[in-house]
Structure 1
Amino acid sequence: MAEYKALSATEMDTVDAVRTFFILATCTTLSVSAIPSFRSRFVNYGARATKAAGSKEPSSGAPASSGVSRLLDSLASWTVPHGFFTHFYIASVLSSAFWATQLPLRGPAFWAVAARVSDEHLQNSMSLNQIIWCWVLMTIQGSRRLYECVALSKPSSSRMWFVHWLLGIGFYVVTNMAIWIEGTGTLLSKDLTLDDVRITRVPSPRTLLCVPLFLLASGFQHDCHHHLASLKKYTLPSHPLFSRVVCPHYAAECVIYLSLALLAAPQGEIVNKTLLSCLLFVVMNLGITAGSTEQWYIQKFGEASVRDRWKMIPWVY
């Protein structure tokens, strides 16, 4: 343990590093989306992307592009197929499997993380029961989304900026660490046994609230994705969940991560701050995409198509 304590004194606290990743990702994405020339090139993708994004063709009658514009166009042309979304969930499932071996056995990757967790974050720790539940639910989320990408996705020529792809993979890798990292103190002090995973244990009130909330949101999101996959290309959704919300599947995603943040709250805390920073990124990122989706619906089907509909979260946005 001495060598790990020595390392922790010279490295950034791992919990703070994970939170910083989510906060920086949130701020960077928000900043890029706030600049029109960046948003059109780097934020929108798929059907929402403009022709200018990644295109070097000047519009008719437009003056020659400036050097900065040509540079931005060149960067925007670095794209990957939209189908690479599947890689996000492959990364998530593999990460879940990886930590399922590292945590119980206290493998080298676990020690590399635990060695850099400060005493402050070790003191108020998640319980083993919370860690197990969060791992199970995150595994369900990654596996379901992987299944949907494989079974429901249609062939598409759409592309996305390569940074979206890298950020998405990074998000799921880091999130699979975030779901247990505030339980490091417990993992260091107590061995995981079969007794800890008995289904006969009486669930806590927090578990009784958060697990059904997660499963309900997951079911809603699956229904939305199944309906969207059944539509003909570029047609309006008709599922009841879309009647008052443009992107109800995004709202469901936010509820999924909210339930995890509440479920993983360490002793004496209302919410898990690491997963709260993760939720912040999810809300901001999907909120931007929901706004773009609303604008695309207006351009494609008219303002009446989204009239009296919230973009993502009813009564909020």
Structure 2
Amino acid sequence: MSSSNWQRWGQLPDVSLYHIVLGGYVFMTANVLLVKFIKPLNSLLLYGKNRAQTTGDSSENAQNSKSILSKLIDDIFNLTVPKAWFSHYYVSFFVYCTLIQIVDIYKAAPVTELASNDVLYKSNKLIHIMLWIQSTRRTLECFTFTKFAANSKINFSHYIVGMAFYALVSLNSYVSLKELHPIAFSEVWKLITTADVALFAIFLAASFDQFRNHYHLATLVKYTIPYKFKLVASPHYTDEIIIYSVVAAISCKESLSSFASINYLSCLIFTVVNLSVTSVDTYKYYQQKFGDKFKLQWAILPGIL
């Protein structure tokens, strides 16, 4: 990209950047639903153990005649990258969050009196700190105990969606801070409320629980029942929903109608839709593989799904 193009990007109004984020999440959510509810496309949702099982089943029918659409879907299904590339999500997320943090700290200045936008800035700053914590933890998990089998693959479309998800939430955080006058962290701390503390505590609890669940999955013998999961089949996904629910709640409690809040809500909606679809497939896999040995009643949301 030329320097003039970079300058034009930097001069885009904040509302245009917000629209990019919103459009991205709406597009990705719609695509997940289309792939889920249009039966010929269902295979595009699968990866890991679910993908391996489907690949084995389809090989038995390899000689059957297929339509052009089926062959096209098969071609897309077979367009894969190593599952280890999952780490790219979190490394890029960490880099985005760290750069935003550096820029924001550099621009921050002491204030002499409280301005009306300082409370909004405080909420956006608190959200960014949570995103930075999430990106740091997930990056460390990827390079410490997460195991990626050498032959494990994910669909290329999953890889693109994952990269886009973290780029979009980082962009939303950047614009939400950029449009306000930065203040020093010592001033931010003075604006913290009891609700902020409670929500941040929920975030930390969900983060710790997700860490425990990821560690449990990483130390299991491959494709065995996750015996420490007592309530839902994919509690690490439940934790992810809680984390982004907290992010949306902190943003919305200050300004429900702001572009940033709408985008964090769209981020949460995508997270719920995407992980619910994935968790249902995982739940069905456990039922088929382990039969009566698999006792859990819920896939991801107790009492709902």
Matched, 1:21 2:14: no
| Secondary structure at the counterpart of residue 246 of structure 1 | coil
Offset, 1:141: 0.3
Are the counterparts in 2 of residues 126 and 182 from structure 1 also a CA contact under 8 Å?
no
Match of 2:183 in 1: 192
Tell me: CA distance 1:126–1:276, structure 2 relative to 1, closer, same or farther (3 Å). farther
Quick one: distance in 2 between partners of 1:39 and 1:153? 27
Matched, 1:131 2:124: yes
Matched, 1:172 2:166: yes
Quick one: distance in 1 between partners of 2:117 and 2:106? 22
| Secondary structure at the counterpart of residue 264 of structure 1 | helix
Matched, 1:273 2:257: no
Offset, 1:51: 5.3
Paired residues, number: 286
Match of 1:33 in 2: 36
Quick one: distance in 2 between partners of 1:51 and 1:267? 47
Quick one: distance in 2 between partners of 1:56 and 1:74? 16
Gaps in structure 1 of 5+ consecutive residues: 107-122
Are the counterparts in 2 of residues 125 and 267 from structure 1 also a CA contact under 8 Å?
no
Match of 2:90 in 1: 89
Quick one: distance in 2 between partners of 1:20 and 1:125? 28
Letter in 1 for 2:184: T
Tell me: CA distance 1:18–1:61, structure 2 relative to 1, closer, same or farther (3 Å). closer
Give me the TM-score of the superposition, normalised by structure 2: 0.84
Letter in 2 for 1:232: V
Letter in 2 for 1:251: T
Match of 2:202 in 1: 213
Offset, 1:46: 0.4
Quick one: distance in 2 between partners of 1:217 and 1:304? 28
Matched, 1:229 2:218: yes
Letter in 1 for 2:45: V
Match of 2:4 in 1: none
Tell me: CA distance 1:259–1:57, structure 2 relative to 1, closer, same or farther (3 Å). closer
Are the counterparts in 2 of residues 90 and 146 from structure 1 also a CA contact under 8 Å?
yes
Match of 2:302 in 1: 314
Offset, 1:63: 2.5
Are the counterparts in 2 of residues 131 and 264 from structure 1 also a CA contact under 8 Å?
yes
Q: Percent identity?
A: 26
Match of 1:162 in 2: 156
Letter in 2 for 1:72: I
Quick one: distance in 2 between partners of 1:58 and 1:267? 54
Tell me: CA distance 1:300–1:196, structure 2 relative to 1, closer, same or farther (3 Å). same
More displaced stretch, 126-135 vs 84-93 = 126-135
Match of 2:64 in 1: 63
CA RMSD of aligned residues (A): 2.8
Quick one: distance in 2 between partners of 1:248 and 1:169? 22
Quick one: distance in 1 between partners of 2:69 and 2:84? 30
Quick one: distance in 1 between partners of 2:182 and 2:212? 39
Match of 2:79 in 1: 78
Letter in 2 for 1:165: Y
Offset, 1:292: 0.3
Letter in 1 for 2:21: V
Tell me: CA distance 1:62–1:126, structure 2 relative to 1, closer, same or farther (3 Å). farther
Quick one: distance in 2 between partners of 1:193 and 1:60? 64
Quick one: distance in 2 between partners of 1:104 and 1:298? 50
Offset, 1:126: 6.0
| Secondary structure at the counterpart of residue 49 of structure 1 | helix
| Secondary structure at the counterpart of residue 154 of structure 2 | strand
More displaced stretch, 261-270 vs 142-151 = 261-270
Quick one: distance in 1 between partners of 2:83 and 2:145? 14
Offset, 1:39: 1.3
Offset, 1:38: 1.3
